[in-house]
């Protein structure tokens, strides 16, 4: 009888988990780009294509392999093509992040080269709204760029950024009590984004960021506390999304790519590595 109860419990548990695959460690895979047709589950769109002469579907979003590992390379257009202002890629998360919950998102990132301008993150909008609003589709987000922002006193230098009202802010090296350094091209960084999707009134709609990688961060450390969700919609987080931008035709800033691998999510605060 006890065995039957155990089996019933297991069946109920498996159906409650749906089709997603949760590892023993608690991590749920969003994508590691190792499947046969990894881009099949992604939506790619260029909703502000100002290339001139016109290039259709200018974004470069492709899976590449290196040393037996596949990853996503994303850039707004091929080298020399300018005017693709919003090269959007998005994928539905395997589980929703309900309002009131804290989840940890994990991603590995590597800069192909600077100059570039990339934003990635997680949001509550549906695909139609994401493509209409793009940047306003994000809630917790990360930004990689060395472009010049009028809103900031110093030119960006490629240091990882977070959304901090009313604009963005750079991560900080608390261990050495100084500004963090620009991301090193060709180094993989592991990044943990602890997203607090409780309502604002409960202190939520905020996120913390941890990083490990490059010469600067040989061990994991917290590099930002209390970054702001961009829109604070107080809605379930449903999508991973990213966008990048060549800059305007008359003042382009560069098509350097960003590489993505090992997108995972986990309930609560989880600071282990899902791939080790």
CB of 110: closest distance to Ca ion in angstroms? 12
Contact 116, 256 (CB under 8 A): yes
Nearer to Ca ion, 33 or 253 (CB): 33
Nearer to Ca ion, 61 or 159 (CB): 61
Residue closest to Ca ion, measured at CB: 32
CB of 31: closest distance to Ca ion in angstroms? 8
State the first-to-last Cα distance of the chain, in angstroms, to the nearest integer: 39
CB of 225: closest distance to Ca ion in angstroms? 29
**Residues with Cβ within 8 Å of residue 40, at least 6 apart in sequence:** none
Rounded Cα–Cα distance for residues 139 and 237 (Å): 8
CB of 275: closest distance to Ca ion in angstroms? 8
The H-or-E segment that residue 12 falls in is helix 2-17
Rounded Cα–Cα distance for residues 241 and 126 (Å): 11
Nearer to Ca ion, 48 or 69 (CB): 69
CB of 112: closest distance to Ca ion in angstroms? 16
CB of 218: closest distance to Ca ion in angstroms? 22
* Exposure b/e, 32-65, CB count within 10 A at least 16 = b: bbeeeebbeebeebbeebebeeebeebbbbebee
Nearer to Ca ion, 57 or 65 (CB): 65
Question: Which residues form the interface with Ca ion (CB under 5 A)?
Answer: 32-33, 69-70, 261
Torsion sign, CA atoms 48, 54, 56, 58: negative
CB of 249: closest distance to Ca ion in angstroms? 35
Structure letter (DSSP) for residue 229: P
Nearer to Ca ion, 46 or 261 (CB): 261
DSSP character string of 34-98: -SSSGGGG-EEE-TTB--SS--SS--EEEEEEETTEEEEEEESSSTT---B--EEEEEEEEEEE-
Nearer to Ca ion, 33 or 122 (CB): 33
Nearer to Ca ion, 40 or 150 (CB): 40
């Amino acid at each position: 009888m006890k065995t039957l109860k155990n089996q019933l419990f297991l069946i109920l548990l498996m159906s409650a988990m749906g089709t997603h695959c949760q590892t023993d460690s608690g991590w749920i895979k969003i994508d590691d780009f190792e499947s046969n047709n990894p881009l099949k589950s992604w939506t790619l769109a260029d909703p502000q294509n100002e290339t001139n002469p016109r290039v259709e579907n200018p974004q470069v979003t492709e899976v590449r392999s290196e040393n037996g590992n596949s990853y996503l390379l994303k850039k707004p257009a091929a080298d020399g093509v300018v005017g693709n202002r919003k090269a959007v890629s998005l994928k539905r998360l395997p589980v929703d992040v309900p309002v009131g919950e804290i989840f940890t998102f994990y991603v590995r990132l590597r800069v192909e080269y600077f100059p570039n301008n990339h934003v990635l993150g997680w949001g509550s909008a549906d695909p139609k709204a994401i493509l209409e609003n793009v940047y306003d589709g994000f809630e917790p987000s990360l930004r990689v760029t060395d472009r010049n922002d009028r809103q900031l006193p110093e030119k960006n230098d490629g240091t990882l950024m977070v959304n901090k009202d009313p604009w963005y802010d750079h991560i900080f090296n608390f261990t050495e009590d100084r500004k963090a350094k620009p991301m090193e091209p060709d180094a993989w960084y592991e990044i943990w984004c602890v997203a607090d999707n409780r309502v604002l009134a409960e202190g939520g709609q905020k996120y913390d960021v941890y990083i490990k990688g490059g010469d600067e961060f040989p061990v994991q450390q917290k590099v930002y506390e209390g970054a702001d969700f961009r829109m604070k919609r107080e809605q379930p987080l449903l999508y991973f999304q990213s966008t990048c931008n060549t800059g305007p035709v008359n003042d382009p800033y560069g098509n350097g790519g960003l590489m993505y691998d090992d997108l995972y999510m986990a309930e609560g605060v989880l600071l282990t590595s899902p791939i080790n």
